[in-house]
Amino acid sequence: MAKRYVITKPEEHLVHRTDSLQMVTQITKRPKWVVEQYINSDKLLDGWKIVDQTEVAS
């Protein structure tokens, strides 16, 4: 099962795709425990929307 995160900043039309939570923390400049609270949330983290698109192999 491969992790897949999509980090978008709608206001600036930025999109990042990564398989590493560490990369998400570098992009948002926030610690891991903060980032984890915003994954798949309706809330934005400093304008960033974080979505976990991990595909579950069936």
CA distance linking residue 37 with residue 6, whole number of Å: 15
Residue 7 burial by Cβ neighbours in a 10 Å radius (0-12, 13-18, 19+)? buried
* pLDDT tens, per residue, the chain with 58 residues: 678 999 999 999 999 999 999 999 999 999 999 999 999 999 999 999 999 998 765 5
Query: Which letter does DSSP use for residue 46 in this model?
Result: T
The residues, ordered by sequence, that sit 6+ positions from 10 with a Cβ below 8 Å of its Cβ are 47, 49
CA-closest candidate to residue 4, choices 15, 14, 13: 15
